[in-house]
Structure 1
Amino acid sequence: MTAPTAAHAADAAATAAPAPTLAYPATTRGDVVDPQFGVDVADPYRWLEDDVRVDPKVAAWVAAENKVTDAYLATLPGRESFQKRMTELYNYERFGLPRKAGARYFYSRNDGLQPQSVLFVRDGIKGEGRVLIDPNGWAKDGATALAEWEPSEDGKHLLYSVQDGGTDWRIVRVKDVATGEDTGDEIRWVKFSGLSWAKDGSGFYYSRFPEPKEGEAFQSLNENHTVYFHRLGTPQSADTLIHATPDKPKLNNSAQVTDDGKYLIVTGSEGTDERYALTLYPIGAKGAGKPIDLVDDYANNWEYVANEGPRFTFLTNKDAPRQRLVSLDIRKPGALTELVAENEATLVGASRVGNRIILSYLGDAKSEAEMVGLDGKPISTIHLADIGSASGFGGNPKDPETFYAFSSFATPTTIYRLDTVTGKSEVFAAPKLTFDPRQFSVEQRFYKSKDGTEVPMFVVMKKGLDRSKGSPTLLYGYGGFNVSMTPGFSPTKLAWMDAGGVYVVANLRGGGEYGKAWHDAGRLDKKQNVFDDFIAAGEYLIGQGITGKGQLAIEGGSNGGLLIGAVTNQRPDLFAAALPAVGVMDMLRFDRFTAGRYWVDDYGYPSKEADFRTLLAYSPYHNIKGGTAYPAILVTTADTDDRVVPGHSFKYTAALQHADIGPKPHLIRIETRAGHGSGKPTDKIIAEAADKYAFAAKWTGLTVE
Structure 2
Amino acid sequence: MHSLTFLTFALGLTLSAPVMAAQHENKEIPLTYPDTKTVDVVEEQFGEYISDPYRWLENDVREDPEVADWVKAENAVTNAYLEKLEGRHVLANSMTELFDFDDLGLPDEAGGKYFYERKSGGQNQAVLYVRDGADGEERALIDPATWSDDGATALAGWKPSGDGSLLAYAVQDGGSDWRTLKVLDVQSGEVKSDNIEWAKFTDLAWLPKNIGFLYSRFPKPEEGAAFQSLNADHAVYLHLIGNDQAKDTKVYATPEQPELNHIAQLTSDKEWVAITSSSGTDDRYEITLIKVDSPKLQTRKLVGGFENDWRLIDGVGDTLYFVTNKDAPRLRVVKTDVSADEPKFTEVVPESDAVVDGAMIVGNRLVISYLVDAKSQLSIFDLDGKALGALDLPGPGQVGGLSGSIKSDEGFFTFQSFNRPTTVFRYDGTAAPTIWAAPSLPFDPETVEVTQRFYESKDGTKVPMFLVHMKGQDLAKGAPTLLYGYGGFNISVLPQYKPAWMAWIKAGGVFASANLRGGGEYGKLWHDAGRLQNKQNVFDDFIAAGEYLISEGITPEHGLAIEGRSNGGLLIGAVMNQRPDLFTAGHAAVGVMDMLRFDRFTAGRYWVDDYGYPNKEQDFKTLLGYSPYHNIRNGVDYPALIVSTADTDDRVVPGHSFKYVARLQALDTGDAPHLIRIETRAGHGSGKPTDKLIEEYSDIYAFLAHAIGLELDK
Is the TM value for this pair above 0.5? yes
Contact 2:12–2:442 (8 Å) recurs in 1 = no
Deviations 1:424-448 (A, max 9, x none): 3221111111112111111100000
Unaligned runs of 5+ in 2: 1-10, 17-26
SS at match of 1:622: coil
Shift of 1:2: 8.4
Deviations 1:484-519 (A, max 9, x none): 000011111100010000000000000000000000
Q: Quick one: which amino acid aligns to residue 592 of structure 1?
A: R
Partner of 1:241: 250
Partner of 1:14: none
Verify: 1:179 aligned to 2:188, yes or no. Answer: yes
Q: Quick one: which amino acid aligns to residue 104 of structure 2?
A: F
SS at match of 2:539: helix
Partner of 1:95: 104
1:30 to 39, 53, 68: 39
Contact 1:408–1:489 (8 Å) recurs in 2 = yes
Relative to structure 1, is the Cα distance of residues 234 and 651 closer, same or farther in structure 2, using a 3 angstrom cutoff? same
C-alpha separation in 1, matches of 2:88 and 2:493: 27
C-alpha separation in 2, matches of 1:202 and 1:677: 34
Verify: 1:125 aligned to 2:137, yes or no. Answer: no
Partner of 2:292: 283
Partner of 1:578: 586
Partner of 2:667: 659
SS at match of 1:620: coil
Deviations 1:343-401 (A, max 9, x none): 11100111111111110111100011111111111122111111111112312111111
C-alpha separation in 2, matches of 1:219 and 1:644: 9
Q: Pairwise CA RMSD of aligned residues?
A: 1.6
Deviations 1:311-332 (A, max 9, x none): 3221100000000001123325
Partner of 2:601: 593
Contact 1:568–1:575 (8 Å) recurs in 2 = yes
Deviations 1:656-687 (A, max 9, x none): 00111100000000000000000000111111
Contact 1:158–1:175 (8 Å) recurs in 2 = yes
Q: TM-score, normalised by structure 2?
A: 0.95
- Aligned pairs (5 A) from 1:277-426: 277-284=286-293, 286-289=295-298, 291-330=299-338, 331=340, 333=342, 335-420=344-429, 422-426=430-434
Unaligned runs of 5+ in 1: 8-17
Q: Whose relative contact order is higher, 1 or 2, with alpha carbons under 8 Å and at least 6 apart? A: 2
Q: Quick one: which amino acid aligns to residue 695 of structure 1?
A: F
C-alpha separation in 1, matches of 2:696 and 2:547: 28
Q: Quick one: which amino acid aligns to residue 321 of structure 1?
A: P
SS at match of 1:188: strand
Verify: 1:41 aligned to 2:50, yes or no. Answer: yes
Relative to structure 1, is the Cα distance of residues 3 and 508 closer, same or farther in structure 2, using a 3 angstrom cutoff? closer
Contact 2:207–2:292 (8 Å) recurs in 1 = no
C-alpha separation in 1, matches of 2:101 and 2:357: 30
Partner of 2:515: 507
Deviations 1:20-60 (A, max 9, x none): 75110000011101110010000000000000011000000
Shift of 1:339: 0.6
- Aligned pairs (5 A) from 1:632-671: 632-671=640-679
Relative to structure 1, is the Cα distance of residues 368 and 332 closer, same or farther in structure 2, using a 3 angstrom cutoff? farther
Q: Quick one: which amino acid aligns to residue 326 of structure 1?
A: V
SS at match of 2:202: coil
Shift of 1:286: 4.0
Partner of 1:229: 238
Which stretches of structure 1, 4 residues or longer, exceed 6 Å deviation after superposition?
1-5
Verify: 1:155 aligned to 2:193, yes or no. Answer: no
Shift of 1:266: 1.1
C-alpha separation in 1, matches of 2:13 and 2:206: 53
C-alpha separation in 2, matches of 1:216 and 1:265: 32
Contact 2:640–2:674 (8 Å) recurs in 1 = yes
Partner of 2:527: 519
Q: Quick one: which amino acid aligns to residue 700 of structure 1?
A: I
Q: Quick one: which amino acid aligns to residue 634 of structure 1?
A: I
Relative to structure 1, is the Cα distance of residues 624 and 153 closer, same or farther in structure 2, using a 3 angstrom cutoff? same
Q: Quick one: which amino acid aligns to residue 481 of structure 2?
A: T
Contact 1:19–1:75 (8 Å) recurs in 2 = no
Per mean C-alpha deviation after superposition, the further-off stretch among 314-323 and 197-206 is 197-206
SS at match of 1:497: helix
Identity rate, percent = 58
C-alpha separation in 1, matches of 2:385 and 2:14: 59
C-alpha separation in 1, matches of 2:670 and 2:545: 25
Partner of 1:496: 504
C-alpha separation in 1, matches of 2:387 and 2:12: 50
Q: Quick one: which amino acid aligns to residue 413 of structure 1?
A: T
Partner of 1:267: 276
Partner of 1:10: none
Shift of 1:333: 4.7
Q: Quick one: which amino acid aligns to residue 652 of structure 1?
A: Y
Contact 2:12–2:98 (8 Å) recurs in 1 = no
Relative to structure 1, is the Cα distance of residues 286 and 335 closer, same or farther in structure 2, using a 3 angstrom cutoff? closer
Contact 1:19–1:72 (8 Å) recurs in 2 = no
- Aligned pairs (5 A) from 1:195-234: 195-234=204-243
Task: Work out the number of aligned pairs and report it.
Answer: 692
Verify: 1:460 aligned to 2:487, yes or no. Answer: no
Q: Quick one: which amino acid aligns to residue 185 of structure 2?
A: D
Per mean C-alpha deviation after superposition, the further-off stretch among 393-402 and 645-654 is 393-402
C-alpha separation in 2, matches of 1:204 and 1:4: 49
Verify: 1:188 aligned to 2:206, yes or no. Answer: no
C-alpha separation in 1, matches of 2:319 and 2:474: 59
Partner of 2:542: 534
C-alpha separation in 2, matches of 1:262 and 1:406: 31
Partner of 1:554: 562
Partner of 2:24: none
Shift of 1:544: 0.5
Contact 2:28–2:673 (8 Å) recurs in 1 = no
Relative to structure 1, is the Cα distance of residues 521 and 660 closer, same or farther in structure 2, using a 3 angstrom cutoff? same
SS at match of 1:51: coil
Shift of 1:467: 2.9
C-alpha separation in 2, matches of 1:226 and 1:344: 38
Shift of 1:336: 2.3
Shift of 1:423: 3.0
Partner of 1:104: 113
SS at match of 2:593: coil
Shift of 1:4: 11
SS at match of 2:705: helix
Per mean C-alpha deviation after superposition, the further-off stretch among 108-117 and 516-525 is 108-117
1:568 to 566, 573, 576: 576
Contact 1:20–1:72 (8 Å) recurs in 2 = no
C-alpha separation in 2, matches of 1:337 and 1:429: 37
Shift of 1:66: 0.1
Shift of 1:285: 6.3
Relative to structure 1, is the Cα distance of residues 341 and 440 closer, same or farther in structure 2, using a 3 angstrom cutoff? same
Contact 2:122–2:690 (8 Å) recurs in 1 = yes
Contact 2:358–2:402 (8 Å) recurs in 1 = no
Partner of 1:252: 261
Q: Quick one: which amino acid aligns to residue 458 of structure 1?
A: F
Shift of 1:412: 1.1
Q: Quick one: which amino acid aligns to residue 242 of structure 1?
A: V
C-alpha separation in 2, matches of 1:389 and 1:605: 34
Q: Quick one: which amino acid aligns to residue 448 of structure 1?
A: E
Q: TM-score, normalised by structure 1?
A: 0.96
Per mean C-alpha deviation after superposition, the further-off stretch among 155-164 and 384-393 is 384-393
Verify: 1:482 aligned to 2:487, yes or no. Answer: no
Partner of 2:631: 623
Deviations 1:207-252 (A, max 9, x none): 1100000000000000000111001011111111111101000000
Shift of 1:99: 0.8
Q: Quick one: which amino acid aligns to residue 178 of structure 2?
A: W
